[in-house]
Structure 1
Amino acid sequence: MATMLQEIKEIGSHAKDIYDYLLAGIDPRLADYPLMQSPIHMTAILLSYLFFVLYLGPRLMANRKPFQLKEAMIVYNFMLVGLSIFIVYEFLMSGWATTYTWRCDIIDTSNSPQALRMVRVAWLFWFSKIIELMDTIFFVLRKKHGQITFLHIFHHSFMPWTWWWGVGYAPGGMGSFHAMVNCCVHIIMYFYYGLSAAGPRFQKFLWWKKYMTAIQLIQFVLVSLHATQYYFLDSCAYQFPIILHLIWIYGTFFFVLFSNFWIQAYVKGKRLPKHDVKECQNGTAVYKNGKCHDNGKHHENSKGIKYGVTNGTNNVCAHHENGSSHTGKMKKA
């Protein structure tokens, strides 16, 4: 027993030494920024987030009606549009549109105004990831459980945790490229979410939903290519190559995940946009391409009209091939 306690004590001592060593590498210019004194606070926030969205939230909402939260979501999404625009502008002015070469750009570790500006926007980008945890909170409160996928949870929890270390060690330089690109994508993404939250009258402006996934894929290609060039440069004095290795892995991994989402949603049609679906009088879904589905079945008569089969219900919906509803005709299955 004494030997075991001694071993545990030694392991704890080594773990503390490693922890102190990791903290010693944090950029001292971030010492006064919120949540940057230790990874413990950030980790506690992310664990609380996971506990709420995966366990506590669904249990609390189990016997409650979903909240609407329309006004809150509109404000939230357009606030993030404005924040993302500001972050992109600050990244550009801090180096990417001024002194950076877009190749081997090292971290400016000085206390010059531009270097401190880059530190500030790098931290602001990380903090925006904490704000974006509200995406999932809204899903839970609105009981949109289908939106809480592995991809969504992993992206919203893994990225803030890793970027805390990224901004702590390397606030700037070529490792910040993917942060700027990510915010460019989020301008478009949260603008879409804001319009979507505004209600049905804005649905006609949301025809480009599936292209958001394409934009995400382009983002990951650009990020991976930018990081890849490091391996082909004759010499590059970038201070933290491990950051670039992780960015390359991150970009490639998420390209695979988002590609799978694209295939499931737009090739196999398992996650069609809401505005691509109309409702029949009996609630059966009618797709704009003329297919009227219920339980995956339909019939077509000689007049080019498709009738949904309802598996035992007495009502079916009729829909013309050109997408117009066949008004007034309800037939028995």
Structure 2
Amino acid sequence: MASAWQMALSALQRNLDNGDKRTDPWLLVYSPVPVALIFLVYLCVVWVGPRLMKHREPVDLKAVLIVYNFAMVVLSAYMFHEFLVTSWLSNYSLLCQPVDYSTSPLAMRMARACWWFFFSKVIELTDTFFFILRKKNSQLTFLHVYHHGTMIFNWWAGVKYVAGGQSFFIGVVNTFVHIIMYSYYGLAAIGPHMQKYLWWKRYLTSLQLVQFMLFLLHTGYNLFAECNFPYSMNAFVFGYCVTLIILFSNFYYQSYLSKKKQK
């Protein structure tokens, strides 16, 4: 038993040491332990939070939400710019792009963009805390918790092993979607009088579904193309996108199509 445990630890250590040496020193990157602890705290808050708030009044977070959401718009716009410009200057291929593990200025710029994208997923866990404090428990769906909780692991692995290459495609598309999404949330936080300008809420879900379909097609192509990018990473992203398409499609149906039929 002890020998098997030592072998497992040795295999884990080799796996950690085989990461991207450029990103290993960066915050939260070298080991999955800090991210795992963040995830466990997140799950505890999701479970305990609504119970603690059950007999309390919702917290008024209007000013906080306005600042937070528009700050996320700025961060998303920055990351979108970095992914787009760096990939353009580096002559990235849209269909198949290996990771440049060098320390050239452009390669490091892309790696930093990937790290910021990963860290933004940690920041976005705050969305859930705001729901809990405002007693918006109907928003704490399996889709919400699953999507937020798993993204930090997905992009930890991205920064740890493939900080660049065709990962940029996910970064470009997702940050563009988040510019629109957090703009909506920021405007909605201003007050009820903004609702008449926010008729396009349902199209946010459609846009999210379109991005997942793009990711599915992109990674699906690379599963069969001869591309010097880890096959395991493409296979994982492909499977993950399938789960998100199923969950978001169900959400869209329940939120819009099903209610329309009932009316």
- What is the TM-score when the length of structure 1 is the normalising length? 0.76
Q: Structure 1 residue 194 and structure 2 residue 194: aligned?
A: no
Deviation at 1:15, TM superposition (A): 2.2
Match of 1:263 in 2: 253
User: Which residue of 217, 223, 228 corresponds with 1:237?
Assistant: 228
Match of 2:70 in 1: 78
> Greater strand share, 1 or 2?
1
Match of 1:248 in 2: 238
**RMSD of aligned C-alpha atoms?**
1.6
Match of 1:325 in 2: none
CA contact (8 A) 2:223 2:231 kept: no
Instruction: Give distance in 2, aligned partners of 1:209 and 1:97.
Output: 35
Match of 1:19 in 2: 12
Match of 2:43 in 1: 50
CA contact (8 A) 2:118 2:156 kept: yes
Instruction: Give distance in 2, aligned partners of 1:21 and 1:169.
Output: 13
Q: What whole-Å deviation, never above 9, does each CA across 1:208-234 have from its counterpart, x for those lacking one? A: 00000100010011111111221443x
Aligned ranges 1:280-319 → 2 under 5 Å: none
Query: Partner amino acid for 1:208?
Result: W
Instruction: Give distance in 2, aligned partners of 1:152 and 1:96.
Output: 33
Match of 1:113 in 2: 105
- Partner SS for 2:259: coil
- Partner SS for 2:71: helix
Instruction: Give distance in 2, aligned partners of 1:262 and 1:228.
Output: 24
- Partner SS for 1:100: coil
Deviation at 1:134, TM superposition (A): 0.4
Query: Partner amino acid for 2:57?
Result: K
Instruction: Give distance in 2, aligned partners of 1:53 and 1:242.
Output: 31
- Partner SS for 1:64: coil
Q: Structure 1 residue 226 and structure 2 residue 226: aligned?
A: no
Match of 1:204 in 2: 196
Query: Partner amino acid for 1:254?
Result: L
Aligned ranges 1:61-210 → 2 under 5 Å: 61-96=53-88, 98-210=90-202
Larger mean Cα displacement after TM superposition, 29-38 or 95-104: 95-104
CA contact (8 A) 1:92 1:98 kept: no
Instruction: Give distance in 2, aligned partners of 1:145 and 1:198.
Output: 21
Query: Partner amino acid for 2:134?
Result: R
Structure with max Cα Rg: 1
* Structure 1 runs not aligned, ≥5 long: 1-6, 273-290, 292-333
Structure 1 ranges of 4+ moved more than 3 A: none
Instruction: Give distance in 2, aligned partners of 1:246 and 1:97.
Output: 28
Query: Partner amino acid for 2:242?
Result: T
* Structure 2 runs not aligned, ≥5 long: none
Instruction: Give distance in 1, aligned partners of 2:188 and 2:11.
Output: 47
> Greater helix share, 1 or 2?
2
- What is the TM-score when the length of structure 2 is the normalising length? 0.95
Deviation at 1:71, TM superposition (A): 0.3
Instruction: Give distance in 2, aligned partners of 1:161 and 1:104.
Output: 23
CA contact (8 A) 1:175 1:244 kept: no
How many percent of aligned residue pairs carry the same amino acid? 45
Query: Partner amino acid for 1:24?
Result: D
Deviation at 1:46, TM superposition (A): 1.0
CA contact (8 A) 1:96 1:102 kept: no
Query: Partner amino acid for 2:227?
Result: C
Deviation at 1:58, TM superposition (A): 1.7
Match of 1:34 in 2: 27
Deviation at 1:37, TM superposition (A): 2.5
